[in-house]
Structure 1
Amino acid sequence: MNRNIHPILLCGGAGTRLWPLSRRDYPKQFVRRTGAESLLQGAARRVSGPLFAPPIVVTGHDFRFLVIEQLAGVGVQPQRVLIEPEARNTAPAILAAAFALSQSDPDALMLVAPSDHVIPDTEAFRDAVAKAVPRALAGDLVTFGITPTRAETGYGYLQLAPDAEPRADAPQNLLRFVEKPDATRAAQMIASGDFLWNAGIFLFTARMLIAAFCAHGPAVLIPVEAAVRAACCDLIFMRLDPVAWATAPDISVDYAIMEKASNLAVMPFSAGWSDLGDWDAVWQESGPDARGNVASPHSTAIACADTLLYSTSAGVELVGIGLQDIIAVATPDAVLVAHRSQTQRVKEAVAALQHKGAVQATQFRTAHRPWDENPHGLWAKRIEVAPGTTFNLQPQHHAATHWIILSGVAQMTHRDQVHLLCKNESLYVAAGGLHRLDNPGNVPLILLAVQTEAEGGVTTNHPQSAVG
């Protein structure tokens, strides 16, 4: 293999079907559900190594620093972070990455992967990617198809061509993409042996993807190309132009081009995969015991069967008695109870909570983002910054910010001045001021940020001059 593969990690989803664990303000790709790693961190490690270039991450404005922090936690430095002004589904996101890559290498190989999937066998996945490279270099759009284990109605399917082998160890010809079926149709497709699950993972060159959009999706291509051309770059961040981006259709890559293209191939993969798309998928992936139960460390199942009990907090002990086929999830501020057959409807619950104005629909009690910009409001937030983290913060045109160090050491760069602040010291940055925040220490930096609408310059307050 004579060229690196460029991973494109899609990191903009809201993950509302895993509410209350996953919410709009902190979706499932960032959650450390089991073990020490988040799904994003696991995805980044999976596409690291000799085969791969540093990843490109496509995410939203609110998650840009969280992406950097989590990737740094597993030793991954992205080559670029594309910031979507608003979510427009997978077709614009993937195409934007292709245009960004093609600026330096039009024939760059792109491995597109969601950041919120579970693939336990990393080496098997890398091996499958390597075996798919020749077809991608030959000009095909290669997708990865998962060997189905059940008649699942929550996934899309891939129908193999008549000459294809569903368990082959090399890419096969693909006939078509099939939308999520009902239960009867899913059972028929599984029985035929001609279908694989659609994993939403793709391998192709930037040139061939752009050509596919030229042929089948010009309504997507024109605004996305304009958004990339007019993008604003800041270090590794590329902010796509919001005006052009807003005119791009909200459409998946499957609908936009994959269902129309003829140069399709599929790489079968049977080494284990889950998109954790709903709580029933979490139950499946978590390895139920002999009675079909899954219980988190802070949960207890008594006389239950085929049930998931999941508490996120040591302060909330969740107990189920005599339950059958039930999903019960408890967080410090919300509880979900559902029949396993109804878990696809959790999005309806989130919509209902939003309609009634419940903050739990989208927010946690703890703000996980390291920086939340609110140029018109007044607020105070406790912020924790991981060691070695750097934030290039945006100008607050309508508000000033008071930064108060609670513990650790902060290095604040404002215009041409660098301020080193310790516990009980503070810095005031006027409205419109550009600044950068660094944690140069080896321990977390904890600070209080208070935003006001005051005017003025920059003032550094030391403990001896504080009023209190």
Structure 2
Amino acid sequence: MILPVIMSGGSGSRLWPLSRALHPKQFLALINDNTLLQETVNRLENIQCSNPLIICNNEHRFIVAEQLRANNTLASDIILEPMGKNTAPAIALAALAAIANGDDPLLLILAADHVIKDVAAFQKAVLDAKAFAEDNKLVTFGIIPTHAETGYGYIKQGMKKIHDTAEGFDVDSFVEKPDLNTAQTYINSGGYLWNSGMFMFKASRYLEELSKFSPVMLDICTQAYRNKTQDLDFTRISADIFAQCPEDSVDYAVMERTNDAIVVPMDAGWSDVGSFSSLWDVSDKDENGNVNHGDIISRNTTNSYIYAGHKLVTTVGVDNLVIIETKDALLVACKDQVQDVKAIVEKLKLEGRYEYKHQREVYRPWGKYDSLDFGHRDQVKRISVKPGAKLSIQMHHHRAEHWIVVSGTAKVTNGDKTFLVTENESTYIPLGQLHSLENPGVLPLELIEVQTGSYLGEDDIVRFDDKYGRV
């Protein structure tokens, strides 16, 4: 049986301001109405496999769970990495989970943030890889290149291998991201593939090879997994133990060192959408070569990627631009320089600006909030609470709150009183008061929250009870 393992880490910083640290690209709908995570799950249809195992970090856990729920997808497990240690330890945790019940499935390692346009070709490559993986080989998927690309690593093909109807090649070597001239040499030779970062192998074979080449990593991952705890639908790995784990990629830790590596070529319209230029490449374009999202009016505009999130965006006489408008940021960049967007993100991070971490609209397990206005001692939010959801029982040391219900019904606990607040009604939560908010109805609850006080940060929350395990 195939167990899909979907790696859902990463920040997608080159797609800022659409992608943020707390809501990165894998959770965005960039190509169609589904997010990249949902599309990754959907392309498993018609492959005989078990429910996917998801690996993500703690801060993304509720987004992952909600997007799977909205996609009608059941996960076999959602493993929370305490901190990022690159792909080799993450896959080790997945392999340990896979064999915990005495099974030894084939792990299909996928990234949550890739675009694959030809699903049939992807599924054919997976079935080819399965034949080799069942024969104890460690398979990587190599993308048949379409041009000289300097943003990807390459795999040099060795001797051709045939297994029944499956076709693959021994891996001669893995090659780092080349300069343009070297990349063109690779393309001209015809013997190189792009390194996709997707793999397939038996769980036991991966652990066996890891024990040869990185025994310390395997030992620490084993201990961290044995000391796991269950938190709602999530498996928490021991942070204290996992923090000691070496950081390494699966390529360096295993694939470049094993004698049993096979590469299966794939020609499936693949992209890791690592920048707006690559997103432009894989998106549908109009007759002028433009990719347009949202309310856009253009004149004499060509070869551009334009995203209007919330406002009308107009362009006149421009070419080869990326224009991204969100509620709280605007990016204008030359399409051939979008790799440098990461430098903007680093500056935002260095300055401690919130735009680095999250959108103005922030998702929570109970719903979401949108920060409408900021002042020195006041903040206004629009809060949406899902039916049946409840915020934690909490208090604040530095702020008071005014709640005005716009639609729906709120069940409010304010000190020792619990009461209902309906549309066009309001209530006041004094500073230091124990309180909670719940939506007891079947319709979404919408309210406006006005905060006033000397400090309005999200870390001024003392939780006493929380149905989502955040105490």
TM-score, normalised relative to structure 1? 0.81
CA distance in 2 between counterparts of 1:237 and 1:76 reads 15
The Cα of 1:457 is off from its aligned counterpart by 9.6
Corresponding residue number in structure 1 for 2:199: 202
Matches of 1:211 and 1:134, distance apart in 2: 19
Counterparts of residues 266-305 of structure 1 (less than 5 Å): 266-305=263-302
Which one-letter code corresponds to 1:180 in the other structure?
K
Matched, 1:40 2:41: no
Alpha-carbon distance in structure 1 between the residues aligned to 2:421 and 2:138: 54
1:143 maps to which of 128, 140, 144: 140
1:321 aligns with 2:317: yes
AA matched with 1:238: T
Question: How far 1:280 moved relative to its partner?
Answer: 0.7
Contact kept in structure 2, 1:84 and 1:240, CA below 8 Å:
yes
Maintained 8 Å contact 1:69/1:386? no
- State the partner residue of 2:150: 153
Which residue number in structure 2 is paired with residue 444 of structure 1? 444
Q: How does 1:68-147 map to 2 (within 5 A)?
A: 68-147=65-144
Match of 1:354 in 2: 349
Q: 1:139 to 1:422 in 2, by over 3 A?
A: farther
C-alpha displacement of 1:326: 2.4
Could you say if the C-alpha distance between residues 14 and 31 of structure 1 is closer, same or farther in structure 2, counting changes exceeding 3 Å?
A: same
Q: Does the CA contact (< 8 Å) of 1:109 and 1:205 recur in 2? A: yes
Inter-CA distance 49–80: structure 2 relative to 1 (3 Å threshold): farther
Task: Give 1:322's aligned amino acid.
Answer: V
* 1:243 shift after superposition: 0.4
Question: Separation in 1 of the partners of 2:270 and 2:419?
Answer: 47
8 A contact 1:145–1:268 mirrored in 2: yes
Cα offsets for 1:344-396 (capped at 9, x unmatched): 22211100122233321222111123369xxxxx99975545568x79x9998
- 1:253 partnered with 2:250: yes
Residues 39-58 of structure 1 aligned to structure 2 (within 5 Å): 39-49=36-46, 51-58=48-55
SS at match of 2:124: helix
After TM superposition, the structure 1 stretch with the greater mean CA deviation from structure 2, 86-95 or 204-213, is 86-95
Partner Cα separation in structure 2 for residue 14 and residue 136 of structure 1: 31
Aligned equivalent of 1:339: 334
Query: 3-state DSSP class of the match of 1:184?
Result: helix
* Cα distance in 2, alignment partners of residues 62 and 421 from structure 1: 31
5+ long unaligned stretches in structure 2: 368-377, 413-417, 452-457, 467-471
Identify the structure with the greater strand proportion: 2
Q: What amino acid sits opposite 2:317 in the alignment?
A: I
1:447–1:255 CA distance, 2 compared to 1 (3 A): farther
Change beyond 3 A, Cα 1:50–1:295: closer
1:328 is paired with a residue whose SS is: strand
Report the residue type matching 2:186 in the other structure.
M
1:186 alignment partner, one of 183, 188, 201: 183
Opposite residue 444 of structure 1, the aligned amino acid is P
Partners of 2:421 and 2:11 in 1: how far apart? 36
CA shift at 1:303, angstroms? 2.6
Structure 1, 180-189 or 298-307: larger mean CA deviation = 298-307
1:311 aligns with 2:320: no
- When residues 457 and 367 of structure 1 are mapped into structure 2, their CA distance, relative to the original with a 3 A threshold, is closer
1:466 counterpart residue number: none
1:200 aligned counterpart, secondary structure? strand
1:306 and 1:239, CA in 2 relative to 1: closer, same or farther beyond 3 A? same
Does the 8 Å contact 2:137/2:262 carry over to 1? yes
- Unpaired segments ≥5 residues, structure 1: 373-377, 413-418, 459-468
What's the CA shift for 1:329?
A: 1.9
> Do the aligned partners of 1:133 and 1:203 also contact (CA within 8 Å) in 2?
yes
CA distance 1:441–1:257, change in 2 (3 Å): farther
Any conservation in 2 of the 1:293–1:301 contact (CA below 8 Å)? no
In the other structure, the counterpart of 2:370 is none
| Alpha-carbon distance in 1 for matches of 2:205, 2:395 | 42
1-side partners of 2:250 and 2:326: how far apart? Answer: 34
Match of 1:369 among 364, 372, 380: 364
Q: 2:61 aligns with which of 41, 61, 64?
A: 64
CA distance in 1, matches of 2:241, 2:64: 24
Structure 1, residues 243-293: CA drift from partner, whole Å, max 9, x if none?
A: 011112232211221121221111211121111111110110113445433
Aligned-pair CA distance for 1:186: 0.7
Secondary structure of 1:368's counterpart equals strand
Distance 1:347 1:234, change over 3 A: same
State whether residues 9 and 57 of structure 1, in contact with CA within 8 Å, keep that contact through their aligned partners in structure 2.
yes
Q: Match of 1:171, SS? A: strand
Q: C-alpha separation between the residues in 1 aligned to 2:295 and 2:48?
A: 40
Q: How does 1:370-449 map to 2 (within 5 A)?
A: 370=365, 383-386=383-386, 406=405, 423=422, 443-446=443-446
- Cα displacement string for residues 167-206 of structure 1 (whole angstroms, at most 9, x for unaligned residues): x962322212111111111111011100111111111111
> What one-letter code is carried by the residue in structure 2 that aligns with 1:90?
T
* Separation in 1, partners of 2:21, 2:258: 33
* Fraction of identical pairs, as percent: 36
